[in-house]
Amino acid sequence: MFAREELLRVGYVPDRDRIIGRDDEIRAVGKALGPAVRGGPPRNLLLYGKTGTGKSLVSKHMAREAGGRASDNGVDLIYQYVDCSNDDTETRAARELALGVRDTLDPDLSIPRKGIGAAEYFRHVWDLLDDHEVRSLIVILDEIDKLDGDDDILMTLSRAEESGKTDSYVGIIAISNKIQYRESIGERVDSSLQDREFVFHPYDATQLRQILENRRDAFQPDVLSADVIPKVAALAAREHGDARKAIDILRYAGAIAEESDSTQVLEQHIDHAMERAEADRFAELISGSTPHVKYILVALASLTIRRDEEEFAKQDIYSTYKQVCANEGSDPISWDRVSRLLKEQSFLGITESRHTGGGYEKGSYRVHSLNRDPEIVLKALDSRSDL
């Protein structure tokens, strides 16, 4: 089925002619990086928008372009990308940055992965930049709202040259899925950043169709039936406007067609692809969760399917959760601890909770519901609903 499957992979940074509907955004990032291409200080940027709107793609593409153009001008400019959803503490993010700069400038240098703190990792970064006379470093901090200690790392990076840590200029592109992220930044960091903001809006159906058409050569010739790309684009535009999810669905449809020994990717493969893509995304989202978080989600999904209802009181969830624990051969944790875990899942957007208005002799109490299809949750957790 596939000729160049890498075109459909997360993290692939395409050439300019494959980037659709983001001309204004490309210009905004280009203006921020423009001074660095000529040997001056880059400007900082805060980019907002829902997932799959091209924030990471445009940032990485333009940083790569800036590096090439700077080289043409005799200017040494490098960039590093840090995914704060994975490296979610200041120390982890600093380690990823230090290792990335090391790999770019001096691959033989030994930097420990454990046993030192953020300050020591940053010292490695500053030493590398100065030893190799790098003029500018562009740091892309993706999903910075997931980073515990974001104020600290933003302060460190934005004041590195001013405070004499390095002779190199350091520019920041901070990316957040939350439009209100700016409000969470402390005043000292806000002043230090002196940034510009830009909002990325969801793609429409026409743009999504163009994006997918530009990835058609990921497949062998004539493998995609005529209705596949229009349907994927229409579904993605209607549900989320997320190009990343649309590309994922197309890739999964190809894989499902291949598994079924079909000679073409057909419309019938798309529905299965959507389910598989959603289950895999959810599994990735909770991959680092504790077993008891997963048991609670299985309990909530099972209740949703069995009772054909959406909202449940904690007492019902706890009772079913204990059954899940028994099936798994695990001792249940306390009522209070389950309450805290439910609050955490609500904060992460996996579940929702609200206070009911109460009723006669009931009073107000909190109910919980899933933000995902319960079948998808159970499939992702490889569990059953017959509890």
From the annotation, which residues make up the binding site for ATP? 53-57, 203, 215
State the CB neighbour count (10 A cutoff) for residue 140: 23
- Rounded Cα distance, 356 and 282, in Å: 28
Q: Within the chain, how many helices (H) and strands (E) appear?
A: 14, 8
DSSP string, 108-142: T----SSS--HHHHHHHHHHHHHHTT-SEEEEEEE
C-alpha separations of 374 from 304, 307, 355, 379 in Å: 7, 12, 22, 9
CB 317 within 8 A of CB 342: yes
The closest of 169, 155, 165 to 36, measured between CA atoms, is: 169
Structure tokens belonging to residue 200: 């990325």
Q: One-letter amino acid identity for 338?
A: V
Residues making up the annotated binding site are: 53-57, 203, 215
Identify whether the C-beta of residue 96 lies closer than 8 Å to the C-beta of residue 87: yes
Distances (CA, A) of 319 to 203, 322, 345, 352, 369: 43, 5, 18, 19, 16
The single residue listed with the structure tokens 């389910």 is 275
Tokens 């969760």 belong to 289
Report the 10 Å Cβ neighbour count for 346: 17
Q: How far apart are CA 269 and CA 333, in angstroms?
A: 41
Q: What is the distance of C-alpha 95 from the center of its chain?
A: 19
DSSP symbol at 282? H
| Phi, then psi, of 195 in degrees rounded to 5 | -90, 175
User: Would the CA dihedral through 6, 12, 17, 23 be positive or negative?
Assistant: positive
